[in-house]
Amino acid sequence: EIVLTQSPGTVSLSPGERAILSCRASQSVASNCLAWYRQKPGQAPRLLIYGIFSRATGIPDRFSGSGSGTDFTLTISRLDPEDSAVYHCQQYGTAPITFGQGTRLEIK
């Protein structure tokens, strides 16, 4: 199975700054099948990005995805306190579907 490793484990930034979250795959992710989710405490995950680059409905352009092959990035610009959450990456191109362990983003 494809193992996804997210870094950093935890990051603390100030409002207005930019966050760069990494997701590295143990082998190449097929057909651009990489998604990102945000999960706030006690809530279900919410889809942010799919197909590496495409924003989900209602997601502002402060959120952008990039990468290819085995290295992917979620960039969140102009951080807002509401962005405090755990961010998960997911690959769905090769069975079984797998998720990374998550990156916790704290807004100071």
Partner 1 sequence: EVQLVESGGGLVQPGGSLRLSCVVSGFSFSPNWMSWVRQAPGKGLEWVANIKPDGGVENYVDAVKGRFTISRDNGKSSLYLQMNSLTVEDTAVYYCATGSGWHDYWGRGTPVTVSS
Positions in the binding site for partner 1 (CB under 8 A): 33, 35, 37, 43-47, 50-51, 56-57, 88, 90, 92, 95-102
* Residue among 19 and 34 whose Cβ is closer to partner 1: 34
Cα 78 to its chain centre, rounded Å, is 16
Place of tokens 């919410």: 46
Q: Who contacts 60 (Cβ-Cβ below 8 Å, separation ≥6)?
A: none
Distance in Å, CB of 53 to partner 1, minimum: 12
Q: 61 or 96, CB closer to partner 1?
A: 96
